[in-house]
């Protein structure tokens, strides 16, 4: 089973500010929808709260240490291991071979060592964020540029979209 992180990262590694995304980039939302469609998505409680609802067409799994947290339309789990086990089960039931981990920073930091793939949006923004994506070791990953988008009325910043695959023997 592939384990893919899905993330949009500014030049200095920032991914969020004040509990939200630092930008509105319509083409990145389309890319996110495309790469996660039909797959289980795992997220931290703060990211779920920031999105405000379960993402349609995907099994949503929310990691929280709070037993009382209610996430309508989503499963809640008390650990990353439990979240991944549940996601694998959901993926098998739906006949998909990949689970997606969609943030935020706490969850990326804990799951990067398990990741086989990363759907990486490089956002051409210099942002003073308060949460960051870990620095990737270039020799661990092979990357393929998939597409790009320009800054315009719908996109606060230009971006490039990449698929990273962990080099064999590095997991
Ligand atoms: N640019 C992007 O691609 C992207 C993607 C996603 C999110 N973001 C941004 O990232 C920010 C949120 O990230 P964040 O790091 O603050 O929060 P987060 O990772 O979304 O959620 C953190 C919460 O997850 C739960 N958690 C963490 N580790 C756990 C574990 N091992 N077991 C069980 N539960 C665990 C805890 O919930 P409890 O406190 O309930 O116990 C913790 O407070 C926002 O600004 C958001 O917009 C950006």
**Encoded tokens for 55:** 């993402």
Please give the distance, rounded to the nearest whole angstrom, from the Cα atom of residue 111 to the centre of ligand 1: 12
Q: Is the CB of 50 under 6 A from ligand 1?
A: yes
CATH number of 2-166: 3.40.430.10
pLDDT score of 143: 97
pLDDT score of 107: 98
Q: Is the CB of 16 under 6 A from ligand 1?
A: yes
Domain limits of the chain? 2-166
Helix (H) / strand (E) element for 46: namely helix 45-51
Tens digit of each residue's pLDDT (9 = 90 or more) over 120-151: 999 999 999 999 999 999 999 999 999 999 99
Indicate the pairing of strand 75-77 with strand 117-123.
unpaired
Stretches where the chain sits below pLDDT 50 are none
Q: In what order do the strands lie in the sheet with 141-149?
A: 75-77, 60-63, 41-44, 98-101, 2-9, 117-123, 159-166, 141-149
pLDDT score of 171: 53
Distance CA(70)–CA(60), nearest Å, equals 13
Distance CA(95)–CA(163), nearest Å, equals 22
Please give the distance, rounded to the nearest whole angstrom, from the Cα atom of residue 43 to the centre of ligand 1: 7
pLDDT score of 168: 82
Q: Indicate the Cα dihedral angle 13, 15, 18, 24, nearest 10°.
A: 130
Q: Is the CB of 118 under 6 A from ligand 1?
A: no
HEC string for 118-139: EEEEEECCCCCCCEECCCCCHH
pLDDT score of 125: 97
Q: What are phi and psi of 79, to 5 degrees?
A: -155, 160
Q: Is the CB of 80 under 6 A from ligand 1?
A: yes
Please give the distance, rounded to the nearest whole angstrom, from the Cα atom of residue 41 to the centre of ligand 1: 13
Choice from 62, 105, 114, 132 to test ligand 1 binding pocket (greatest atom count within 8 A of CB): 105
């Amino acid at each position: 089973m592939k384990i893919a992180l899905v993330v949009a990262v500014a030049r200095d590694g920032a991914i969020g500010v004040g509990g939200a995304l630092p930008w509105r980039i319509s083409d990145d939302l389309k890319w996110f929808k495309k790469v996660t469609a039909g797959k289980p998505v795992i997220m931290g409680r703060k990211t779920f709260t920031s999105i405000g609802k379960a993402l349609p067409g995907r099994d949503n799994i929310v990691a929280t240490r709070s037993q009382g947290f209610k996430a309508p339309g989503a499963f809640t789990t008390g650990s990353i291991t439990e979240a991944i086990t549940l996601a694998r089960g959901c993926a098998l039931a739906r006949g998909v071979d990949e689970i997606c981990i969609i943030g935020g920073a706490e969850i990326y930091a804990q799951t990067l060592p398990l990741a086989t793939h990363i759907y990486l949006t490089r956002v051409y923004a210099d942002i003073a964020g308060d949460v960051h994506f870990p620095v990737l070791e270039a020799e661990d990953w092979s990357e393929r540029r998939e597409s790009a988008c320009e800054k315009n009325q719908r996109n606060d910043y230009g971006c490039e979209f990449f698929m990273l695959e962990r080099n064999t023997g590095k997991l």
